[in-house]
A and B are shown apart, each in its own frame.
Chain A
Amino acid sequence: MSPGKDVVLDVEGARVQFEMDRGVARVLDDVDLSVSREEIFGIVGESGSGKSMLAASMLDAVEDPGVLSGSITYYPSPDEPVDILELSAEELRQLRWEEIAMVFQGALDSFNPTLRIGQHFQETLSAHNVDRQSGMERARELLSDLYLEPEQVLASHPHELSGGMRQRALIALALLLEPEVLVMDEPTGALDLLMQRSILSLIKKLQRKYNLTIVFISHDLPLVANLADRIGVMYAFDLVEVGTAEDVVEGARHPYTRALLKAVPNLETPYAEMQPIAGRAPDPVSVPKGCSYAERCPLADDQCLDVHPPYDDLTDEHRVACYYPEEAPAAIPLPFEDQSVERPDDPPEAAGAAPGKEGSR
């Protein structure tokens, strides 16, 4: 992306396809994304939008009938690119724990029920030829970083721990081999809010203490807003808006992001301002040729229906794949937004009046 940035993970034109009876499903559609060193990058989007596919792609871990193409580059240091899709199986195995670690979606059950938690840590250490004593010392430190009692947890079987404790133990395990990057796919989805929020605080602490780069994936926009430095919004298998957390939460310019912000129940927004997003996301077997959001977008016009909108760089950091980022705030007003909207007094009727074909460009 912007040159001079210390990029640690660079995704270019990532595409995942599945051959199915119904046709070819393109479940990741030319995604470009750069993750900077030591940032927390949040990826949000509704169920089925391709978040897990993107996460798996970053580690070349897309499951089998799926075919990944494009390029994924990892930079352990700025002038040392590693082409992840070219690595051998053994190199990939090492990279996956020692450089880029991952906590998969639904991972609550990924501990072997017959082994104690401590055995999982020991097996990981010996599989990577790491000194057991210093490794277990780090394990203990990580566990207490995560508000766990190390000795008690290491001696426990998975079923003896609550869901929240298991998930924290899993995060500690992922960090055991001192990876640079931690990718977490919906790591708190199965937990209740208090535990989710507590884990977020702990993740932030870990990020600081160990200088981690974190990619955090969730369908829960408010959760990500409270955590991430930058946020990418996915819709229908591609990112539609990327920016700093402020850009995306307080100055969103893509109609979908704005609709999502209105659709999320929270404790502040007046009831009348909360609105569901009508309609459904496209089927990966037949993604529309124009803008994938056009069917649900109040601003859609013929151009939107015909031609896929290119990325528009609003600023260095803030990119939007939409023809009408300037019109979006007035068309989809948000209750908590004031100055950032250009014409805040515009009546919501403006929403109905889609700009002409030529629009602003």
Chain B
Amino acid sequence: MSGNDSVVSLRDVDVHFENRRGMLDLFGEPETVHAVDDITLDIPENDVVAVIGESGCGKTTLGKTALGLQRPTNGTVSFRGQDVWEARDGADDVDIPYDDIRRALQIIHQDPGSSLNPNQTVMATLLQPLKRWKPDLSRQEKEARILGMLQEVGMTPAEDYAYRFPHQLSGGEQQRTALVRALLMEPDLILADEAVSALDVSLRVEMMDLMLELQEQFDTSFLFISHNLSNARYLAGQADGRLAIMYLGEIVEIGPCEEVLADPHHPYTKVLKWATPDLEVKHGDIEDPPVRGVDIPDPTNPPSGCRFHTRCPEARDHCVRTSVPSIDVGEDRNVACFRADEDSEYWDTHPLPDETAGDTGGEETT
């Protein structure tokens, strides 16, 4: 599943940022944040990949890198076999020009309100991309295409919605307008970065149904980024897509959505499942979070060995000392945890002591 049947392929990609710790540390050493660390990921045609993780785990950076909006520090990003950054930098032997790549890879943002120009009608906003990418169409043809798309996403009567301003639209309608803007480019891949969890719960299913319909109709792939496992399940599960669980810059578990959710292997995936509320009334008892610390460690100083060891309920001495390889655990499934390897030294070492309340997760435990 590599090479040319992928729309986008990431190979051994790192993205590192130099950071200063805030105003007080103005003259201190800049620190390096490993936002994305050694990630390899293929996004096939007509597929959904959902990337799930906590805030600050690097999922947005990963998404932007896949779209060619963020230059990787190491590794390559290619679009249908063409290196995106060679195309962008205007190398000589480019098969696919950068303009085509840009059109093919579109994004819908988290906040529907701020991604639309408040002073422009829906029609004016949607005409812009067509003017740029379909200059040959007449004005009438462009408008007809836009009205058709508005109809497609359920904004009817389309003639009415087309001449509204963003403040006259509900959050869900704003988000649908952003989706239409992306779709008018006839993209091969849409990056939806928290595009659903910002919506009211009552609007989420509707938005995802729409994405699924459009995926079927136009064969568009989605890279769906979220902290919300329920939304990821609804979208990736129905599209037979994959789920990638990210922790501190690394993909710690990946596989077919349904399988990962039914039988998660990585302790962190299990924790995320615990955190996902179900429609059940919890009687009386208080559950402690099944982690040894509720806060993410400082990404400028990630823990040694397995990065999850400062919070992992299953962590043992071996996890502190040794970094974890990605272990093949079945077709299309990989997990970065020693527990997936029954011959690992892990099993012969001691569990880490319980870290109790008051741990801010900032410091190292070695």
In Å, the complex CA distance between A150 and B360 comes to 10
Could you tell me if B358 and A144 are in contact, using CB atoms closer than 8 angstroms? yes
* Residue of A196, A221, A265 contacting most chain B CB atoms (<10 Å): A265
**A343 is an interface residue with CB less than 8 A from chain B:** no
Could you tell me if B277 and A223 are in contact, using CB atoms closer than 8 angstroms? yes
Q: Which of B41-87 contact A (CB under 8 A)?
A: 54-56
Could you tell me if B55 and A265 are in contact, using CB atoms closer than 8 angstroms? no
Could you tell me if A268 and B278 are in contact, using CB atoms closer than 8 angstroms? yes
Residue of B nearest to A228 (CB): B281
Could you tell me if B275 and A198 are in contact, using CB atoms closer than 8 angstroms? yes
Residue of A nearest to B209 (CB): A276
Could you tell me if B230 and A246 are in contact, using CB atoms closer than 8 angstroms? no
**Binary contact track A210-222/B, C-beta < 8 Å → 1, others 0:** 0000000001111
**B238 is an interface residue with CB less than 8 A from chain A:** yes
**B99 is an interface residue with CB less than 8 A from chain A:** no
Could you tell me if A144 and B278 are in contact, using CB atoms closer than 8 angstroms? no
In Å, the complex CA distance between A107 and B218 comes to 41
Could you tell me if B171 and A47 are in contact, using CB atoms closer than 8 angstroms? yes
Q: How far is the CB of A236 from chain B (nearest CB, A)?
A: 13
Could you tell me if A191 and B228 are in contact, using CB atoms closer than 8 angstroms? no
In Å, the complex CA distance between A159 and B24 comes to 11
Residue of B nearest to A196 (CB): B275
Please indicate the chain B residues that have their CB under 8 angstroms from the CB of A221 in the complex.
201, 279
Could you tell me if B56 and A220 are in contact, using CB atoms closer than 8 angstroms? no
Q: Which of A183-222 contact B (CB under 8 A)?
A: 191-198, 201, 204-205, 208, 219-222
Indicate which residue in A148, A162, A266 contacts B278 across the interface (CB closer than 8 Å): A266
Residue of A nearest to B205 (CB): A276
Indicate which residue in B24, B171, B277 contacts A220 across the interface (CB closer than 8 Å): B277
In Å, the complex CA distance between A287 and B208 comes to 29
Could you tell me if A149 and B274 are in contact, using CB atoms closer than 8 angstroms? no
Q: How far is the CB of A139 from chain B (nearest CB, A)?
A: 14
* Residue of A149, A221, A261 contacting most chain B CB atoms (<10 Å): A149
Given the known inter-chain contacts A194-B54, A271-B237, please indicate yes or no for A149 contacting B359, CB distance below 8 A: yes
Indicate which residue in B54, B201, B209, B277 contacts A46 across the interface (CB closer than 8 Å): B201
Q: How far is the CB of A116 from chain B (nearest CB, A)?
A: 11
In Å, the complex CA distance between A159 and B282 comes to 35
Please indicate the chain A residues that have their CB under 8 angstroms from the CB of B149 in the complex.
none
Could you tell me if B205 and A263 are in contact, using CB atoms closer than 8 angstroms? yes
Could you tell me if B276 and A267 are in contact, using CB atoms closer than 8 angstroms? yes
Please indicate the chain B residues that have their CB under 8 angstroms from the CB of A219 in the complex.
200-202
**Binary contact track A343-361/B, C-beta < 8 Å → 1, others 0:** 0000000000000000000
Please indicate the chain A residues that have their CB under 8 angstroms from the CB of B359 in the complex.
147, 149
Given the known inter-chain contacts A157-B22, A160-B22, please indicate yes or no for A267 contacting B275, CB distance below 8 A: no
Please indicate the chain B residues that have their CB under 8 angstroms from the CB of A269 in the complex.
279
**B272 is an interface residue with CB less than 8 A from chain A:** yes
**A277 is an interface residue with CB less than 8 A from chain B:** yes
Given the known inter-chain contacts A144-B357, A195-B294, A226-B282, please indicate yes or no for A46 contacting B200, CB distance below 8 A: yes
**B102 is an interface residue with CB less than 8 A from chain A:** no
Please indicate the chain A residues that have their CB under 8 angstroms from the CB of B204 in the complex.
263-265
Given the known inter-chain contacts A266-B230, A268-B278, please indicate yes or no for A197 contacting B289, CB distance below 8 A: yes
Given the known inter-chain contacts A150-B358, A195-B54, please indicate yes or no for A264 contacting B200, CB distance below 8 A: no
* Residue of B21, B208, B230 contacting most chain A CB atoms (<10 Å): B230
Could you tell me if B286 and A149 are in contact, using CB atoms closer than 8 angstroms? no
Q: How far is the CB of A246 from chain B (nearest CB, A)?
A: 5
Could you tell me if A265 and B205 are in contact, using CB atoms closer than 8 angstroms? yes
Indicate which residue in A46, A197, A261, A271 contacts B234 across the interface (CB closer than 8 Å): A271
Could you tell me if B205 and A274 are in contact, using CB atoms closer than 8 angstroms? yes
In Å, the complex CA distance between A198 and B295 comes to 10
Could you tell me if B360 and A153 are in contact, using CB atoms closer than 8 angstroms? yes
Please indicate the chain A residues that have their CB under 8 angstroms from the CB of B287 in the complex.
201
In Å, the complex CA distance between A110 and B243 comes to 36
Indicate which residue in B288, B294, B357, B362 contacts A164 across the interface (CB closer than 8 Å): B294
**A84 is an interface residue with CB less than 8 A from chain B:** no
In Å, the complex CA distance between A188 and B198 comes to 13
Could you tell me if B295 and A164 are in contact, using CB atoms closer than 8 angstroms? yes
**A98 is an interface residue with CB less than 8 A from chain B:** no
Q: Which of A27-83 contact B (CB under 8 A)?
A: 46-47
Q: Which of B279-322 contact A (CB under 8 A)?
A: 279-282, 286-289, 291, 293-296
Given the known inter-chain contacts A197-B289, A219-B200, A265-B204, please indicate yes or no for A225 contacting B275, CB distance below 8 A: no
In Å, the complex CA distance between A264 and B261 comes to 18
Please indicate the chain B residues that have their CB under 8 angstroms from the CB of A264 in the complex.
201-202, 204-205, 230, 279
Could you tell me if A193 and B272 are in contact, using CB atoms closer than 8 angstroms? yes
Indicate which residue in B208, B233, B281, B295 contacts A267 across the interface (CB closer than 8 Å): B233
In Å, the complex CA distance between A194 and B277 comes to 10
Could you tell me if B286 and A208 are in contact, using CB atoms closer than 8 angstroms? yes
In Å, the complex CA distance between A150 and B286 comes to 23
Q: How far is the CB of A92 from chain B (nearest CB, A)?
A: 32
Q: How far is the CB of A151 from chain B (nearest CB, A)?
A: 10
Q: How far is the CB of B232 from chain A (nearest CB, A)?
A: 9
Could you tell me if A225 and B360 are in contact, using CB atoms closer than 8 angstroms? no
Could you tell me if B228 and A145 are in contact, using CB atoms closer than 8 angstroms? no
Please indicate the chain B residues that have their CB under 8 angstroms from the CB of A153 in the complex.
360
Could you tell me if B237 and A263 are in contact, using CB atoms closer than 8 angstroms? no
**B215 is an interface residue with CB less than 8 A from chain A:** no
Other than the given A195-B294, A266-B278, 18 more pairs (CB < 8 A) read A46-B203, A47-B200, A147-B357, A147-B359, A152-B360, A194-B271, A201-B287, A225-B281, A260-B202, A263-B201, A265-B208, A265-B230, A265-B234, A266-B230, A267-B233, A268-B278, A274-B234, A277-B202
Listed from nearest, the 10 A-B pairs whose CB atoms lie closest are A276-B206, A192-B227, A222-B277, A197-B275, A194-B275, A265-B230, A198-B289, A245-B281, A47-B200, A198-B294
Residues of A within 8 A of B (CB): 46-47, 144-145, 147-150, 152-153, 157, 159-160, 162-165, 191-198, 201, 204-205, 208, 219-223, 225-227, 245-246, 249-250, 260-261, 263-269, 271, 274-277, 280, 336
